[in-house]
Structures are given as C-alpha cells and as structure tokens.
Copies of this chain bind each other. A is one copy, B any other.
Amino acid sequence: MPEYKAPLRDIDFVLNDVLNAEKHYQDLPDCEEATPDMVSAIIEEGAKFAERVLSPLNQIGDQQGCQWNDGQVTTPEGFKEAYQQYVESGWPSLAHEEQYGGQGLPESLGLVLNELVGTANWSWSMYPGLSHGAMNTLDAHGTEEQKQTYLTQLISGNWTGTMCLTEPHCGTDLGMLRTKAEPQADGSYKVSGTKIFISAGEHDMAENIVHIVLARLPDAPAGTKGISLFIVPKHLPESLTKSNGVSCGSLEHKMGIHGNSTCVMNFDEATGYLIGPPNKGLNCMFTFMNTARLGTALQGLAHAEWGFQNSLTYAKDRLQMRALNGPAHPDKPADPIIVHPEVRKMLLTQKAFAEGGRALIYYCAQLVDKAKAHEGEEKEKADALLAFLTPIAKAFLTEVGFESANHGLQIYGGHGFIAEWGMEQNVRDSRISMLYEGTTQIQAIDLLGRKVLMTQGEALKGFTKILHKFCQAEIDNEALAKYVKPLVELNKEWGEITMQIGMKAMQNRDEVGAASVDYLMYSGYVVLGYMWALMAKTAQEKIDSGASDDFYQAKLKTADFYFNRILPRTRSLVETMKSGSDSLMSLEEDHFVF
C-alpha cells in the first residue's frame, strides 16, 4: 500500500548545502532561534507527524470524503484528531509573529513543514493551509483589534480560516463579483451573497472559522476597483454557539482532494468587518498572493515526490520481462521493471521535477523571508524577483507535478488505474493544482504580460543576470561545462524571444496571449535548469572534497538526465512561440463547430 517517507536527505542537501540556510537565517533580523540544530529538530518532528499521522489518513480521506448534513460538514475519519495533534504541537504558530502568539520562525522554514504535511496528505494540509492565507491577510491589513481578536485564534490553531473569492459567474474575473456589504451604524457590515469553491469553508475540526470575504460596498465603483475585503466569522467571537448568517449550502462532488471540503457558502446578512481601505480589497489580496501561489507550487512538488516514491518501490519490486541486453536477474522469473529504459525515464522525470522543484521553492521561500525582513532596495529586489518567479513556480511546477503523477501511475501498468494502489488518487488530487489560485493560463499572462513586458523586460533581466553571473563564474569549470553551456545559450535566447514577442505585441496584444503558456513553460525549464546546475555544482564540490556518498553521484546523474532529456523541450516551445498568434486567432468564432 502507498506510503510516504519524508525525503530528509534531499531536504537537508537543498536547504543547507545548496542554499546555505544557516547563513540565510543569520542574515535575517530576529531569527536567532533558527539555529541549525533547532531547524533540523523541527523538520524531523514534522517528518514524523507527516509520515505517521497524516500519510495513513490520505487514502481514507479519498475514500470517505467529506459528508454534508443539514449545513454541518463531517471530515473523514481521523482528520479531526490529526488536527488536534497538529494544534497541540504548536505547528500553526511556527512562522507567525510572536506578539500574537507565534514562534517567529522564518516563513521559509514554514514552507518546509508545509511540504512534509502536504506531500503526506494534500487534502488534510489544505485546512491549515487556508488558515495561513487568512492569517497573512490579517497580519498585513488588519487593525490591532482585529489581530487581537482573530489573528491570535488562527495562530493558536483554535480557529481556521478561508478565502472567499469565487462566485458562480466569476472566478478569474473578480471584477464581476456581486456579494454585497451594507454598512451598519456600529461600524460593522451586513454581508450577503453566495461564494463557491470555498476550500475548508465548513468542517468539524475547529470551533470557529474566519472567512475572509471579497464583497462590494453599496456605492462601490464597478469592476475590480469596487471590491473590498471583510472578515466574516462563522460565529461572532462573543457567542461561539450562535449563528452569524453564514452557512454551507452544499459540498461539491469533485475529481480529487475528497478529504477537503469544497463548499458553497451562503452569507445572509452575516456580520462582517472591513479589512484595509474600502474598495482596495483586490490590492490587499495581491500583497500576499505570491505566498499563496508558492503554497500551490508546493502541490506540484508534493505529487511528483509522492509519485516518485511509490512508483520507485513498485519498479524495484514488480517482475516483468527481461532487460533488453539480457537478463539482469537471471535467478528471478523475470527482471524488475526498473531495468527497462522507459520505466527509468519516467522515474527520473519524477525525480528531476521533485528535487528540482524543491530547490526552486526553497529558493523562492528565501526571497519571501528577505522581502519580509528587509526594507528599501533589498526588499524591492527580493519582491521583484519573487514576483517574476512566482507564476513560474506555481504554473510550471503544477504542470510537471501532474505529468509526474501520471508517470507514477503509468509505471504501475493496469494496476495504476486501480484505486487501492493510490497512484490514481495522486493523479486526481494533483489535477486541481493547475486550476486554483489562478490557472496555468492566468499565471502565463501574468508572467509574460504583467511581469515581463510591462516592465520592459526588467523583471526577466533580474533573473537572467543571476543566471549569467553563475555561468560566468563556472565557465572554466570542466565538470560543469555540460550544464553551463546550454544555460548560456538559453539565457541569451530567452531575452531574444522576449524581445521578439514584445515587438509583435505592440501591434497586436493577442501575440502576448498566444505565446504566454509556451513562454511560461520555457521559462520554467530554464529556471529548473539553473536549479539543477546549482545542485550539480554543490554535489561536485562534495565529491571533489572527498565525499563518497552515493547521494551526490545520483544528483549528478539526475542533472545529466535533466539536461539531456528534459531541457530539450525548450526546442519545441521556442518554435511554437515564434509561430505567432495567427494560427490561433484566424478561425472565426462561428466556424468553431462540430
């Protein structure tokens, strides 16, 4: 049966050997507590919780799903108890401010914990994950009173949170939203409307739920400029047994993440409180959107890692056919399928995306820390780089995470389609990641349109300079030449193709849309190439200084695989990007028929 084992060796390698977390933490103010011993103790404890408590609940969550009964939602067996244990261990407070009960540890360390928890059981991890979004909103925009009342309860884990954005007729296009907020004499608001796809909107795991709701004030301008942000608690803090006009109308029946409740939420003159300035709700949301999207990028890594682990076990165990060059295990009735090149290709693809994805997310997480801790130029630099990398991490990693989950299933052959092995659940659970928090297509237009072209390419240059510097520094390093050379060329091509699209876009903005997903994927392959070059460099240094650990050899060989077998995908993408928008746009709407 499927299992999860926290990849502590690789986490340690990326965190400490590649990204030098010790120095990173030392450079952050107020992070004295994040000593190497402390950090590794936290990760080990998190690993135990993920492996022993959450992983065994993953399949149960899928099978049982959440049950709705007259507005009440029951989560799958064991979910509630696991949450209690999570709260008692103080996990919700890890990366939050000490003055509201948090432990004040860096956000990047919180993300490592989220990886462990999320890979073991993504559906379960969304309950605390959504709280995290609500906490960040309150932290950034709440009044002191709101923080004392709500943030403290969220940080303790006594309450959980949600983000209520989507309505039946608008998901991406929030400018059309209709939920209303009527001001009351006491400074509160009466919020009314229907929200859909509200993850963790209702459940039985905590005594109260803090909904962060987008709604319109009566005199609000139309479109996105008339949206405000409200706290609407399930129960008002003063009476936790009384209803506040917030109810769960139903649960969605969906493809995967059955253990998480996806709710239709009805607000019927529910009492709410404005967060941040009126009509600035969307801006307030955007301030922490990067973190939220990084949290979804994690899901790509999670399903790749989980798929890799469980298909590797099977590939070593399942005997079927002989190696093409003759029996590898003549003593057995057939060879384990790991001898077959195409099975190895699928295993290595998952490994390359999981480990490369980990490096990319941890790299971004350090930028989050920096943006949070610093001011002025240093903050701006971190913010800009993070803004560029976030849509890539979110969309690229979830796309390749889904691909990886499918490879995991494929390695099992027909058994992969059968529920008991868990591989098909991994595919189903992963499929949502390319949809929520902005689809791949939305991330792509955000990257190419809003981030790259609207800054005249500055956002891209922020990253290509870093890559250029790395390549220059290693240009004479023979061991790394096979990685550095293609990166030098790609880095140049990346700028050129950006310029070409930018020029065409001045005449026709559809050129941006037409190139965007290919551009994002191209960018993802290059960025991950950089991550693999960084990891190869570190592994090579370890080997050169005498380390005989097989782990480093495996790193180098996986890097070789990435550069030989994955990075060439850019060759097709560059062609399709260059082909322009005509072949997409010339067919008239009415001629699309069947």
Contacts and interface: CB of A to CB of B under 8 A. Distances in A.
Contact of A560 (B338, B340, B583, B589): B583
Interface stretch (A285-293, A320-328, A488-496): A320-328
Interface residues of A, number: 108
Interface string A548-588: 00110110011011011100111111011001111111111
A182 interface: no
A350 to B, nearest CB: 10
A358 to B, nearest CB: 11
Contacts of A508: 325
B584 A345 contact: yes
Interface stretch (A85-93, A141-149, A411-419, A533-541): A411-419
A564 B585 CA distance: 13
A400 B254 CA distance: 24
Nearest to A321: B173
Interface string A384-414: 0000000000000000000000100110011
A287 to B, nearest CB: 22
A583 B568 contact: no
Interface string A292-322: 0000000000000100110010011001110
A293 to B, nearest CB: 15
B554 A587 contact: yes
Contacts of A284: none
Given A253-B420, A439-B410, A557-B583, A590 B7 contact: no
A419 B581 contact: no
B591 A553 contact: yes
A588 to B, nearest CB: 8
A588 B256 CA distance: 35
Chain A at the B interface: SS class: helix
Q: By CB atoms of chain B within 10 A, which of A171, A316, A345, A418 has the most?
A: A345
A211 to B, nearest CB: 18
A36 interface: no
Contact of A325 (B509, B561, B586): B509
Nearest to A313: B594
Interface string A433-452: 01110011100110000000
Interface stretch (A121-129, A153-161, A424-432, A461-469): A424-432
B428 A416 contact: no
B312 A594 contact: yes
Interface stretch (A50-58, A70-78, A238-246, A513-521): A513-521
A34 interface: no
Contact of A579 (B169, B434, B565): B565
Contacts of A588: 550
Nearest to A172: B320
Contact of A338 (B323, B324, B420, B589): B589
B594 A341 contact: no
Contacts of A253: 418-420
Contacts of A342: 441, 444-445, 513-514, 516-517
B554 A592 contact: yes
A510 interface: yes
B587 A558 contact: yes
A347 interface: yes
A576 B583 contact: no
A55 to B, nearest CB: 14
A366 interface: no
A579 B579 CA distance: 26
Given A325-B510, A345-B517, A565-B583, 12 more contacts: A173-B334, A255-B428, A324-B512, A341-B514, A409-B431, A417-B432, A550-B588, A560-B583, A564-B582, A565-B576, A568-B572, A568-B576
Which 9 A-B pairs rank lowest in CB-CB distance, beginning with the nearest?
A341-B513, A568-B575, A255-B424, A324-B509, A564-B583, A341-B514, A564-B579, A253-B419, A572-B572
20 contacts: A7-B594, A169-B319, A171-B414, A173-B321, A176-B333, A305-B594, A324-B512, A325-B510, A339-B589, A341-B514, A341-B584, A344-B587, A345-B514, A348-B587, A410-B435, A554-B592, A561-B583, A565-B579, A571-B571, A572-B573
